[in-house]
Homo-oligomer: A and B are copies of this chain.
Amino acid sequence: MSALNAPFVGRQGGRRAMATPALVVDLDALERNIAVMAAFARAAGLKLRPHAKTHKSVEIARRQIAAGAVGVCCAKLGEAEALAAGGIEGILITSPVVGPFGVERLAALAGRTPGLMAAVDHPDAVDALAASGAKLTLVVDIDPGIHRTGVADAVAALALAQRIAAAPNLTFAGVQFYCGMQQHIEDFILRREAIEERTSYLTDLVRQLTEAGLAPEIVTGGGTGTHRIDAALGAFTELQVGSYVFMDRQYNDCDLTGGGPPPFETSLMVDSRVISASHPFLVTVDAGFKAFATDGGPPPILAGAAEGATYRFMGDEQGCVIPPAGEAPPRLGEIVTFAAPHCDPTVNLYDAYHLVRGDTLVDIWPIEARGRSA
């Protein structure tokens, strides 16, 4: 656990004594986010299988399941292996497992992980799994039009479901339909219109499967951006929401409720420290490209600098904090706290969460599946 810098973090020293940059989670906010989504799904009569690609953490998966989730989703086989090793059950691997040893690894994982399921989108992959003889439960991944993964249309979906059902060792459990592109449409009405159109496509596809005697037991999909719309439309049996545990700038820019108060709070932060203060108009902090995902723009400042201060990346290791005109920058050694611009790839940079309640460091959790993209 070298990355924890364990002797230097000093629980007794509290949050300000942490080595920086540090990935910080507000435990109160995390607990509320988990409870709010669990209550929402329960009230909507939907199962919850939160996506663990967001947090990659055994402890957070455990808490989601303790709050009522039927399991978690994992994006990759390696991620699923890491969480299963921590005792997590009910894992759905949402990306196709392809490549050497993929079948062997999947079969071995299924043998030791109750409730394991995997998504497939190609007849060759089904044939390889059928030939393995391993008992596997599969869902057919449907392309919602973004052309990332999934079979192209209802004809291909039906053919793949039949292929699965025909293999004695394979079980056809249902379909997956993840509208990734629609999650971040900031306007609620436009997002609902986009999802309504896609949902009618999904509903028709499910009807065709049902008429062919392959009624899907599981219809899984949805995300933090569309979970209320998805629940109202009623096509899914379970939701794959991920980012709600943390909330990032991208999702905070989305109206999730159609004008109501935001249901979730920002719980994920990066604490950085001023390491250079040679100029009156900016200071440098110890967090750059290696401390934040860079696909979501610069990170918003949450605390530690004057209102209106901004951050600019300054390379791999550093960034600068620029105070608004007339305001002084933070001083050498002071902490500046940021929200993540995009939570999933930011989490993937760190080996541990530092859990805080207020300014008190209360726990450190390893990020077991960090880097497990293979």
**Do residues A148 and B284 form an inter-chain contact, with CB atoms below 8 A?**
yes
**Do residues A122 and B277 form an inter-chain contact, with CB atoms below 8 A?**
yes
Query: Closest Cβ of chain B: how far from A219's Cβ, in Å?
Result: 19
User: Complex formed: what's the CA distance from A98 to B284 in Å?
Assistant: 12
Query: Closest Cβ of chain B: how far from A264's Cβ, in Å?
Result: 19
CB closest residue in chain B, given A122: B332
Contact check: which of B21, B105, B147, B372 meets A2 at CB < 8 Å?
Answer: B372
- Per-position contact with B for A199-218: 1 when CB-CB < 8 Å, else 0? 00000000000000000000
**Do residues B313 and A295 form an inter-chain contact, with CB atoms below 8 A?**
yes
Interface residues on A, range: 35 or more
Asked if A274 lies at the interface with its beta carbon under 8 angstroms from chain B, I say yes
- Per-position contact with B for A261-288: 1 when CB-CB < 8 Å, else 0? 0000000000001111111001010110
**Do residues A152 and B279 form an inter-chain contact, with CB atoms below 8 A?**
yes
Query: Closest Cβ of chain B: how far from A175's Cβ, in Å?
Result: 14
Asked if A16 lies at the interface with its beta carbon under 8 angstroms from chain B, I say yes
| Residues of chain B within 8 A of A99, CB atoms compared | 19-20, 273, 275, 333
**Interface residue stretch chosen among A74-82, A162-170, A252-260:** A74-82
**Do residues A82 and B2 form an inter-chain contact, with CB atoms below 8 A?**
yes
| Residues of chain B within 8 A of A370, CB atoms compared | 371
**Do residues B274 and A98 form an inter-chain contact, with CB atoms below 8 A?**
yes
| Residues of chain B within 8 A of A21, CB atoms compared | 373-374
| Residues of chain B within 8 A of A316, CB atoms compared | 53, 75, 344-345, 348
User: Complex formed: what's the CA distance from A53 to B294 in Å?
Assistant: 18
**Do residues B147 and A75 form an inter-chain contact, with CB atoms below 8 A?**
no
Q: Which 10 A-B pairs have the closest CB atoms?
A: A19-B374, A149-B276, A8-B101, A294-B295, A289-B345, A98-B275, A17-B100, A152-B278, A75-B317, A316-B344
